[in-house]
Amino acid sequence: MEVVNAVEDLHRRTLSNMPRGLDRLIYLASTRDYNTGTYHHDGLASRFSEEVACEALADCHGEAFGELISSDLRDLVQQLDEYRDSTHSSPGEFIALWRSLEPYRVAIPVGTDPLAAELLFSNIKIALAILEARRGIRPAAG
Protein backbone atom coordinates (compact mmCIF):
# COMPACT_ATOMS: atom_id res chain seq x y z
CA MET A 1 0.00 0.00 0.00
CA GLU A 2 2.90 2.32 0.81
CA VAL A 3 4.38 1.68 -2.62
CA VAL A 4 1.07 2.61 -4.24
CA ASN A 5 1.08 5.87 -2.28
CA ALA A 6 4.69 6.51 -3.27
CA VAL A 7 3.87 5.86 -6.94
CA GLU A 8 0.97 8.30 -6.70
CA ASP A 9 3.19 10.86 -5.01
CA LEU A 10 5.86 10.46 -7.68
CA HIS A 11 3.29 10.90 -10.42
CA ARG A 12 1.76 13.95 -8.80
CA ARG A 13 4.94 15.81 -7.89
CA THR A 14 7.38 14.82 -10.60
CA LEU A 15 6.16 12.73 -13.50
CA SER A 16 3.10 14.86 -14.25
CA ASN A 17 5.54 17.56 -15.36
CA MET A 18 6.86 15.23 -18.03
CA PRO A 19 4.17 14.76 -20.65
CA ARG A 20 6.23 12.44 -22.85
CA GLY A 21 6.87 8.79 -22.05
CA LEU A 22 10.39 9.10 -23.43
CA ASP A 23 11.23 11.87 -20.96
CA ARG A 24 9.85 9.81 -18.08
CA LEU A 25 11.85 6.77 -19.18
CA ILE A 26 15.10 8.73 -19.36
CA TYR A 27 14.46 10.53 -16.09
CA LEU A 28 13.59 7.36 -14.18
CA ALA A 29 16.60 5.53 -15.64
CA SER A 30 18.77 8.38 -14.39
CA THR A 31 17.61 7.73 -10.81
CA ARG A 32 19.00 4.20 -10.99
CA ASP A 33 22.45 3.25 -9.77
CA TYR A 34 24.09 1.43 -12.68
CA ASN A 35 26.21 -0.69 -10.36
CA THR A 36 23.51 -1.94 -8.05
CA GLY A 37 20.35 -1.46 -10.11
CA THR A 38 18.64 0.26 -7.20
CA TYR A 39 16.74 3.52 -7.61
CA HIS A 40 17.31 6.58 -5.45
CA HIS A 41 15.15 9.64 -4.92
CA ASP A 42 15.88 11.70 -1.84
CA GLY A 43 12.54 13.48 -1.67
CA LEU A 44 10.53 10.31 -2.09
CA ALA A 45 12.75 8.41 0.36
CA SER A 46 12.27 11.13 3.00
CA ARG A 47 8.50 10.92 2.65
CA PHE A 48 8.41 7.11 2.61
CA SER A 49 11.57 5.00 2.92
CA GLU A 50 14.54 4.08 0.72
CA GLU A 51 13.02 0.68 -0.08
CA VAL A 52 9.56 2.00 -0.85
CA ALA A 53 10.99 4.81 -2.97
CA CYS A 54 13.13 2.32 -4.87
CA GLU A 55 10.17 0.06 -5.56
CA ALA A 56 7.95 2.98 -6.62
CA LEU A 57 10.60 4.29 -9.01
CA ALA A 58 11.08 0.81 -10.48
CA ASP A 59 7.32 0.44 -10.98
CA CYS A 60 7.09 3.80 -12.72
CA HIS A 61 10.10 2.96 -14.85
CA GLY A 62 8.44 -0.26 -16.03
CA GLU A 63 5.23 1.65 -16.66
CA ALA A 64 7.04 4.27 -18.78
CA PHE A 65 8.74 1.53 -20.77
CA GLY A 66 5.40 -0.20 -21.37
CA GLU A 67 3.90 3.07 -22.60
CA LEU A 68 6.72 3.58 -25.07
CA ILE A 69 6.47 0.03 -26.38
CA SER A 70 2.76 0.51 -26.99
CA SER A 71 3.31 3.82 -28.80
CA ASP A 72 3.14 3.76 -32.56
CA LEU A 73 6.08 4.93 -34.61
CA ARG A 74 4.50 8.28 -35.49
CA ASP A 75 4.12 9.07 -31.79
CA LEU A 76 7.66 7.98 -30.98
CA VAL A 77 9.11 10.15 -33.76
CA GLN A 78 7.21 13.13 -32.35
CA GLN A 79 8.36 12.39 -28.80
CA LEU A 80 11.96 12.07 -29.92
CA ASP A 81 11.80 15.30 -31.88
CA GLU A 82 10.27 17.17 -28.93
CA TYR A 83 12.79 15.65 -26.53
CA ARG A 84 15.62 16.76 -28.84
CA ASP A 85 14.12 20.23 -28.93
CA SER A 86 14.00 20.35 -25.12
CA THR A 87 17.74 19.58 -24.92
CA HIS A 88 18.51 22.62 -27.11
CA SER A 89 20.96 20.57 -29.17
CA SER A 90 21.13 20.84 -32.93
CA PRO A 91 19.33 18.06 -34.82
CA GLY A 92 22.50 16.91 -36.59
CA GLU A 93 24.49 16.72 -33.38
CA PHE A 94 21.68 14.98 -31.51
CA ILE A 95 21.14 12.36 -34.21
CA ALA A 96 24.86 11.67 -34.54
CA LEU A 97 25.30 11.27 -30.78
CA TRP A 98 22.26 9.09 -30.30
CA ARG A 99 23.39 6.91 -33.17
CA SER A 100 26.94 6.48 -31.95
CA LEU A 101 26.42 6.33 -28.17
CA GLU A 102 22.95 4.76 -28.21
CA PRO A 103 22.16 6.22 -24.75
CA TYR A 104 18.66 4.72 -24.85
CA ARG A 105 20.16 1.24 -24.37
CA VAL A 106 20.86 1.94 -20.71
CA ALA A 107 17.44 3.49 -20.14
CA ILE A 108 15.40 0.30 -20.05
CA PRO A 109 14.27 -1.31 -16.79
CA VAL A 110 16.10 -4.35 -15.44
CA GLY A 111 14.44 -7.64 -16.37
CA THR A 112 12.79 -6.26 -19.50
CA ASP A 113 11.86 -8.87 -22.07
CA PRO A 114 14.81 -8.81 -24.53
CA LEU A 115 12.56 -8.72 -27.58
CA ALA A 116 10.54 -5.82 -26.17
CA ALA A 117 13.82 -3.99 -25.55
CA GLU A 118 14.95 -4.76 -29.11
CA LEU A 119 11.64 -3.39 -30.43
CA LEU A 120 12.22 -0.10 -28.63
CA PHE A 121 15.85 0.14 -29.81
CA SER A 122 14.78 -0.62 -33.35
CA ASN A 123 11.98 1.95 -33.26
CA ILE A 124 14.35 4.62 -31.96
CA LYS A 125 16.84 3.78 -34.69
CA ILE A 126 14.10 4.17 -37.31
CA ALA A 127 12.80 7.33 -35.63
CA LEU A 128 16.29 8.85 -35.86
CA ALA A 129 16.43 7.96 -39.56
CA ILE A 130 13.01 9.54 -40.09
CA LEU A 131 14.05 12.73 -38.28
CA GLU A 132 17.18 12.89 -40.37
CA ALA A 133 15.29 12.34 -43.61
CA ARG A 134 12.57 14.81 -42.65
CA ARG A 135 15.01 17.60 -41.98
CA GLY A 136 17.21 16.75 -44.93
CA ILE A 137 20.26 17.04 -42.76
CA ARG A 138 23.52 15.21 -42.65
CA PRO A 139 24.50 14.29 -39.10
CA ALA A 140 27.84 15.54 -37.89
CA ALA A 141 30.62 12.97 -38.01
CA GLY A 142 30.88 11.07 -34.76
Partner 1 sequence: MIELIFFLLVGALLLFSLLFFAPHKPQGRKDTKPLAEVQQALDVLQLGLLSPELVGRIFSKSDFDYVVSETNKKVQRLFLEERRRLALSWVGEVRRQIVSLRHFHLGSARFYAGLRFLTEMKLAWDFAAVLFACRALRAAVYLRGPYAAPRLVGSTTAAAARVCGISEKYLDFLRPARMISFGDDSAGGSVE
- Binding region for partner 1 (CB under 8 A): 66, 69-70, 72-74, 113, 115-116, 118-119, 122-123, 125-126, 129-130, 133-134
Element (H, E) at 13: helix 2-13
Q: Which is nearer to partner 1, 119 or 140 (CB)?
A: 119
Q: How far is the CB of 82 from partner 1 (least distance, A)?
A: 16
Q: Which is nearer to partner 1, 130 or 137 (CB)?
A: 130
Q: How far is the CB of 72 from partner 1 (least distance, A)?
A: 6
Q: How far apart are CA 107 and CA 112, in angstroms?
A: 11
Burial of 34 (0-12, 13-18, 19+ CB in 10 A): exposed
Q: DSSP 3-state assignment of 73?
A: helix
Q: Which is nearer to partner 1, 41 or 84 (CB)?
A: 84
Say which amino acid occupies 18.
Answer: M
